[in-house]
Amino acid sequence: MFFCLVNNPSSDKKRFDFPNPGLGLGLRSPHYPYILQNQPQVDWFEIISENYIDIGGWAAYVLDWVAERYPIAMHGVSLSIGSTDEINVTYLNKLKSLAARTRALWVSDHLCWTGIMGHNTHDLLPMPLNEESLKHVIQRVKMVQEILERPLVLENPSSYLSFVDDTYTEWDFITHVAEEADCGILLDVNNVYVSSVNHGFDAYQYIDNIPHHRVVQMHIAGHTHCGTHIIDTHDKQVTAEVWKLYSKAKQYCPHAATLLEWDSQIPDFNDLLEELHKAKAAEKMQVPTASEFGNPNAHPHPVVMDIVNTENITLA
Amino acid sequence: MNNLSDIQKWFYKSITHPSGVTHGAAEAGTALAMDKGNIVDVIQPSDKLNAADRLAIYHNAYFLRLYGVLEAEYPALKAALGEDLFRKFALFFLQQNPSGSYSLYDLSANFPGFLAQSVPSENAEESWPNFIIDLVRLERLFQESYRGEGTESLPNTDNPDFDESGDGQVKSNSLRISPSLKLMHSTFPVHHYLLSVRRGEDVPLPNPEMTWLAVNRLNYNVKIYELSEDEFLLLKQISANPEIEISNEAVQPYSAKWLKEKFLY
């Protein structure tokens, strides 16, 4: 099976044209003091783009400090590439400025929509997987790439429902988008697993059938089993099932960068690093052991806004 | 088959409807004149969840996520109102003020205004609503001061020139207000309450007391300053019109403090 994987035709194509910085972590405010004091050994950081647009203050200072010392990739949550609202050019120009300021390796967001009629739900809402959606997204990705003057990298989100009018599998849909709009893919392995359980498809079939040479980056994260479905919670360790899937994806996409997402109940920085470094074992097909975590009341996606620290306010 | 725009409007209205997805989908289907606007016409069930339950995952997440933002940004307000009342106000606010921004930081910009409008006019003179409104204003000002531009990264912040013009007037170009300086007047010492809550202390609501406050960020830390009425009014005057010329005599009692604390630069 291994030889089949490395001989997959798509593996021979030139990888989508980005560097591979290695193993990275999300830049989150609880870790700012540790990072500034210790300049820890981590290959790169991913930032939530919206947390650093329109801001000054401590977060902006830390961002500049980090950008001087580590490679940064930008990961957005409000592009709403699939929405039928007009594209927000002001927002895109701010993304572009932030990318220049941080010398971002790449700019990513999700293959989803987040709002309509001028509203933003701040959630990653699923696209109907049909011809109309496909054409719409492809045209929008091309437009965004023209404004950003760089390729967009799109992530497969977790989803909790599918549409009656779906005519594509998700892997076919993202493949068409990537190939026809000529963009990169951020393969979130945990999301593939979560969606595979929620929709009853084969996660390995998904991994087998995407254009591997376009995979720029992978995400790994923890999730929560609710009994009837799985929620992408980013609040715990990566499960063994996801590590297995990651092992296989890494065989297909050996040059893709890897990032551990952990956005709620965030542990100490060194605990995160320890979890991230399990990826090295997984890449050698030594799948780390981890438990499946259950919570029937879990809800999706942590809030991606960094909350201010109470220590930062005093009476003069 | 419904078009993508209608599907998205239907979906949005369904997951943001305060009474849940069944009501939301029914209303949306009618409003959009969709031939197939029932949940089962749009959403596939899974082996373990029916279509409405799957849609409800997004409905629950929508309110939980945005409520969580308000809860995190207004801990003192939540303490003052109590969890139940805070939740009612927060959820009503979210229904009336859906986010229109790419940033969650903008979500609650109108929360103080919303609460102010929620006070019935016959209760406008009562002290408790005024305390609540001033408290939420102060919490918002803290967020704005903390996240916005400040003097830390601005050039030439160490050389303001108050007294060297020689003509008894402060030069207008010397009166640069720090972008992180926020001013507010309250009939309550809301700052003591806010700071106590943030320290985790269980404190009673304070008695009325005229209070003039400045919120400013210095070296990335936000401080709250108690001002005299005169000092407050002078700063208000300067911040409203940076071109105004003010006598050195008026500024002199405060200039050392303003420079030290970077109210002006």
Tell me the C-alpha to C-alpha distance, in Å, between residue A23 and each of A20, A220, B126, B174: 9, 11, 58, 49
- In whole angstroms, what is the distance from residue A275 CA to residue A225 CA? 20
Cβ proximity of B12 and A116 under 8 Å: yes
Q: CB distance B46–A199 less than 8 Å?
A: yes
User: DSSP code of B169?
Assistant: B
Greatest extent of chain A over all pairs of C-alpha atoms, in Å: 67
Cβ proximity of B113 and B137 under 8 Å: no
Chain A residues whose beta carbon lies within 8 Å of the beta carbon of residue B143: 308
Q: CB distance A305–B104 less than 8 Å?
A: yes
What value does the mean pLDDT take over residues A259-270?
94
With a cut of 90, say whether residue A270 has pLDDT above it.
Answer: yes
Chain B residues whose beta carbon lies within 8 Å of the beta carbon of residue A116: 5, 8-9, 11-12
CA dihedral B68, B69, B72, B76 (to 10 degrees): -100
With a cut of 50, say whether residue A215 has pLDDT above it.
Answer: yes
Q: CB distance A128–B49 less than 8 Å?
A: no
Q: CB distance A162–B48 less than 8 Å?
A: no
Weakest mean pLDDT among A178-192, A287-301, B15-29, B62-76: A287-301
Chain B residues whose beta carbon lies within 8 Å of the beta carbon of residue A59: 147
Mean pLDDT of chain A: 90
Closest-CA residue in chain A for B37?
A164
The full DSSP string for B79-127 is: HHH-HHHHHHHHHHHHHHS---SS-GGGTTTTHHHHHHHHS-GGGTT-H
Question: CATH number, domain at A145?
Answer: 3.20.20.150
Cβ proximity of A152 and A143 under 8 Å: no
Tokens representing residue A220 in the block: 């790994």
Chain A residues whose beta carbon lies within 8 Å of the beta carbon of residue B41: 164
CB proximity list for A68: less than 8 A, separation 6 or greater: none
Q: CB distance B146–A113 less than 8 Å?
A: no
**Tokens 């699923």 sit on residue:** A126
Phi, psi torsion values for A91, nearest 5 degrees: -60, -45
Cβ proximity of A258 and A189 under 8 Å: no
Tokens representing residue A120 in the block: 């933003």
Q: Smallest CA–CA separation between B219 and chain A, in Å?
A: 9
In this prediction, residue A67 carries a pLDDT of 98
Q: Smallest CA–CA separation between A15 and chain B, in Å?
A: 31
Tokens representing residue A104 in the block: 């971002």
- Give the nearest partner residue to A123 out of B4, B44, B65, using CB atoms: B65
- Give the nearest partner residue to A125 out of B11, B60, B180, using CB atoms: B11
With a cut of 60, say whether residue A246 has pLDDT above it.
Answer: yes
Cβ proximity of A282 and A288 under 8 Å: yes
Chain B residues whose beta carbon lies within 8 Å of the beta carbon of residue A316: 223-226, 261
Q: CB distance B103–A119 less than 8 Å?
A: no
- In whole angstroms, what is the distance from residue A84 CA to residue A77 CA? 16
A230-231 and A184-188 strand pairing: unpaired
In this prediction, residue A293 carries a pLDDT of 57
Chain B, 231-250: which have a CB under 8 Å from a chain A CB?
A: none
What value does the mean pLDDT take over residues A288-310?
57
Closest-CA residue in chain A for B38?
A164
- In whole angstroms, what is the distance from residue B171 CA to residue B181 CA? 20
In this prediction, residue A17 carries a pLDDT of 74
Closest-CA residue in chain B for A135?
B4
Print the domain residue range for A29.
Answer: 2-312
Chain B, 191-210: which have a CB under 8 Å from a chain A CB?
A: 191-192, 194-195, 198-199
In this prediction, residue A6 carries a pLDDT of 38
In this prediction, residue B236 carries a pLDDT of 93
**Tokens 């997984």 sit on residue:** A282
What value does the mean pLDDT take over residues A31-45?
97
Q: CB distance A160–B54 less than 8 Å?
A: yes
Sheet holding B221-227, edge to edge: A313-315, B221-227, B211-218, B182-186
Phi, psi torsion values for B166, nearest 5 degrees: 80, -5
Cβ proximity of B187 and B134 under 8 Å: yes
Of A86, A87, A168, nearest to A127 by C-alpha is A168
CB proximity list for A100: less than 8 A, separation 6 or greater: none
- In whole angstroms, what is the distance from residue B147 CA to residue A97 CA? 18
Counting as low any pLDDT under 70, the low residues of chain B are 122-126, 155-175
Weakest mean pLDDT among A199-203, A297-301, B213-217: A297-301
Tokens representing residue B103 in the block: 């940033």
Tell me the C-alpha to C-alpha distance, in Å, between residue A14 and each of A212, B75, B108: 10, 52, 46
- In whole angstroms, what is the distance from residue A169 CA to residue A175 CA? 10
Side-chain half-sphere CA neighbours of A303 within 13 A: 19
Q: Which residues pair with A294 in a beta bridge?
A: A225
Tokens representing residue A210 in the block: 């995407």
Closest-CA residue in chain A for B142?
A313
Per DSSP (E only), the strands in chain B are 43-44, 182-186, 211-218, 221-227
Phi, psi torsion values for A24, nearest 5 degrees: -130, 170
Every domain of chain B and the residues it spans: 1-73, 147-260
Per-residue pLDDT tens digits for A56-99: 999 999 999 999 999 999 999 999 999 999 999 999 999 999 99
Chain B residues whose beta carbon lies within 8 Å of the beta carbon of residue A307: 72-73
**What is the CA angle A153-A155-A161, rounded to 5?**
150
**Tokens 């499946």 sit on residue:** A292
H or E segment to which residue A221 belongs:
strand A215-221
Q: Smallest CA–CA separation between B214 and chain A, in Å?
A: 10
In this prediction, residue A2 carries a pLDDT of 33
Q: CB distance A299–B64 less than 8 Å?
A: yes
Q: Smallest CA–CA separation between B231 and chain A, in Å?
A: 15
A12 pLDDT band (50/70/90 cuts)? very low
What is the SS3 string spanning A175-200? HHHHHHHCCEEEEEHHHHHHHHHHHC
What value does the mean pLDDT take over residues A170-180?
98
Chain B, 93-132: which have a CB under 8 Å from a chain A CB?
A: 98-105, 107
Of A214, A291, A223, nearest to A253 by C-alpha is A214
Phi, psi torsion values for B221, nearest 5 degrees: -110, 135
- Give the nearest partner residue to B12 out of A121, A199, A304, using CB atoms: A121
With a cut of 60, say whether residue A4 has pLDDT above it.
Answer: no
Of B58, B86, B57, B84, nearest to B72 by C-alpha is B86
Q: Smallest CA–CA separation between A163 and chain B, in Å?
A: 5
- In whole angstroms, what is the distance from residue A113 CA to residue A110 CA? 8
Counting the structural domains of chain A, the total is 1
In this prediction, residue B154 carries a pLDDT of 75
With a cut of 70, say whether residue A34 has pLDDT above it.
Answer: yes
In this prediction, residue B168 carries a pLDDT of 47
Tokens representing residue A133 in the block: 């959606």
